[in-house]
A and B are shown apart, each in its own frame.
Chain A
Amino acid sequence: MKILVITEQREGQWNRASFETIAAAQQAAAATGATITAIVAGKGVGALAKELAGYKLAEVVTVEHDLLEKYTPDGYTLALKQAVADVKPDFVFFPHTYQVRDFAPKLAASLGKGMIADCVALRHENGKLVFVRQMFQGKTAADVVFQGEAPWFASFQAGCFRGDQAETGSGAAVRAITVDLKPEQIRTKPLDLFREAKQAVDLTQAPIIVAIGRGIKEPGNIPMAEKLAVAIGGEIAASRPICDEGWLPMERQIGSSGQTVAPKLYMAIGISGAIQHVVGMKGSRTIVAINKDANAPIFEVADYGIVGDLFEIVPALTEELAKK
């Protein structure tokens, strides 16, 4: 059995989730006896391939082409389709990044295959791999298995495997696969990468964060949470829906599309705890959750929890903190 890991880099910089996927593949390989091939695609990826070869892998493959220097879904799909045909894997694993979301289902479908995306864990059971993913915004988990013929495609949510614990090895062989790509096959034209205006707050440096979610109900209630933030000496932050509504600026968003933080204290107020939010804060030292729903997934990562009405609890907390 063979697992192919598609790593991700941009302009010579790793997306660190690549190593988490290597760790996932190593876990699957330990259970099944599979060998692992890792691919790095792009242009001028020699140094990255060398770094990959230091991991416990059977083989490292480079896929280089001028047309892969900038990411396009067409370019990556066409190139990796040729690489999959060459490597002939049973499984193809990806980190579940925005880039992977953009092309991996297309790559799988171009081969008539399916993809189990956004997995948070895997198990080996009755001779097959079972992929665990979340549904209903994290309220339920699902065990999913592949059907039909290989190759089978899967991506892994950030933070579910320890990239820093991916096993190193004695030096995997590196080889290059040549792919055929023509400019006219690439229909999208990638232009500049840019960042919005410089961020005024750096939440990653805040020792205490008070984060609010949908439970806050309306913008008029935000000052109540801000008062708590002031009383506890923290920064105010939010889950995505609050920033989508424009109730707090995007720079205060925590989660996979916002900032990843690990303060000493994180208070999640009226946040249900969808995986997209949890990946951005689960490294926090102490997590407090206040939510009316005792089954909210946020309680899975919380050290302390209060199940109840945040509109009563938050002012009570502010008052308690003012006492000293």
Chain B
Amino acid sequence: MKIVVCVKQVPAKDAPLAIPEGAAWIKETDIGFELNEPDGYALEEALRLKEKHGGEVVALSLGPERSKQAIKEALAKGAERGLHISDDKFYELDPLGSAKCLAAAIDREKPDLVLTGLQSDDHGFGQTGVLLAELLGLPHATIIMSIEALEGHLKLKRELEAGWFQWVELPLPAVLSIQSGINKPRYATLKGIMAAKKKEIATLTRAGLGVTSAPTQRIERIYIPKKTKKTELLTGTAKEAAAKLVEKLKHEARVL
């Protein structure tokens, strides 16, 4: 089974975000980046399917030079090859524009299966997998909690809302968006990291892929949201703050 897994590199979870006035993207200097956590689950699922059924895992990422690190992490964990769509202005792409770039790269690979995480922790569009399916003309399913590969088709467990689940079946090739928590992603081993150095990462560009897409939407600006509720901050040492809080909960909020 040939699997393409889409991985994105996003600012580290605890990175302090600075936004230049009126900008539509953060200041990238001085912060760390990491593999988008939901994509880690998709990658792990791709590796497990390959280990069980044979085949190849190709890690695909769109973004600036730094995004190669996300591909390298995938290679270190066991993916065979990387595809990097190098794009310094990736943040100007709308969901459809990003998906068109990824779809053009995937189309050349003719995979049996395309996996994505549920959403990215930066833009959080949550649309890529579904858009890839439409652009590639493939069936899809999202929020997947288990995958069983059968002869020419898949049996999947989808998570619905409010504690409900559903089994669905669909034919291959297909696109799946993986729910976080489906598995326990592995760590890269030292051996894996060494082996990754010899693995190929092909560089592609938007122009080279022939993707032109008029944006359907534009982020005018991003900003720290205004507080809607007045929070009373309790200060002092841990002990003092704790005492103040218990006092407030007992006598002001009256919930204890």
**Does B255 belong to the interface (CB within 8 Å)?**
yes
**Contacting pair A193 B166 (CB below 8 A):** yes
Task: Decide: A143 and B219 in contact? CB cutoff 8 A.
Answer: yes
Task: Decide if A176 is an interface residue (CB 8 Å cutoff).
Answer: no
Interface: B232 (CB within 8 A): yes
A110 to B231, CA, bound (A): 45
B239 contact set on A, CB distance < 8 A: 316, 319-320
Interchain CB contact under 8 A, A118 and B124: yes
Q: Please, how many angstroms separate the alpha-carbon atoms of A208 and B254 in the complex?
A: 12
CB proximity of B194 to chain A, nearest CB, Å:
28
| B225 engages A265 (CB within 8 Å) | no
Question: How far apart are the CA atoms of A146 and B220 in the complex, in Å?
Answer: 10
On whether the beta carbons of B216 and A137 are closer than 8 Å, the reply is no
Contact residues in A for B165 (Cβ distance below 8 Å):
193-196
Range of interface residues on A (Cβ < 8 Å) = 35 or more
A297 to B133, CA, bound (A): 33
Kindly state whether residue B9 has any CB partner on chain A within 8 Å. no
Are A135 and B94 touching (Cβ within 8 A)?
Answer: no
Given contacts A312-B238, A316-B238, A317-B245, contact A147 B255 (CB under 8 A): no
Residue with the greatest number of chain A CB neighbours at <10 A, chosen from B95, B159, B161, B223: B161
A118 surroundings in chain B (CB, below 8 A): 124, 126
Interface size bracket, B side: 35 or more
Interface of A, secondary structure class, is: mixed
Number of A-B contacts (CB under 8 A): 251
Query: Is residue A31 within 8 Å, beta carbon to beta carbon, of the partner chain?
Result: no
| Given A102-B143, A130-B220; A286-B164 close (CB under 8 Å) | no
Other-chain residue from B24, B163, B221, B228 in contact with A300 (beta carbon distance below 8 A):
B228
B219 touches A142 (CB 8 A): yes
Q: Which one of B140, B242, B256 has the highest number of Cβ atoms from chain A below 10 Å of its Cβ? A: B242
Question: Would you give the 0/1 interface string for A123-155, flagging 1 where the beta carbon is closer than 8 Å to chain B?
Answer: 000000010011111111111111110001000
Chain A window 95-138, contacts with chain B (Cβ cutoff 8 Å), 1 for yes, 0 for no: 00111011111101110011111100000000000100111111
Q: Which residues of A approach B to under 8 Å, CB–CB?
A: 15, 73-74, 77, 97-99, 101-106, 108-110, 113-118, 130, 133-148, 152, 187-196, 199, 208, 214, 232, 240-241, 243-246, 250, 256-257, 259, 264-265, 285-286, 288-289, 293, 295, 297, 299-309, 312-313, 315-317, 319-321
Known: A136-B124, A140-B223, A286-B255. 8 other contacts (CB 8 A): A113-B216, A134-B124, A194-B166, A241-B37, A257-B179, A285-B255, A299-B227, A313-B238
Could you list some 15 contacts between A and B, CB below 8 A?
A: A73-B139, A73-B140, A77-B134, A98-B161, A110-B134, A117-B125, A140-B19, A143-B219, A144-B218, A146-B217, A192-B167, A193-B166, A244-B180, A257-B161, A286-B255
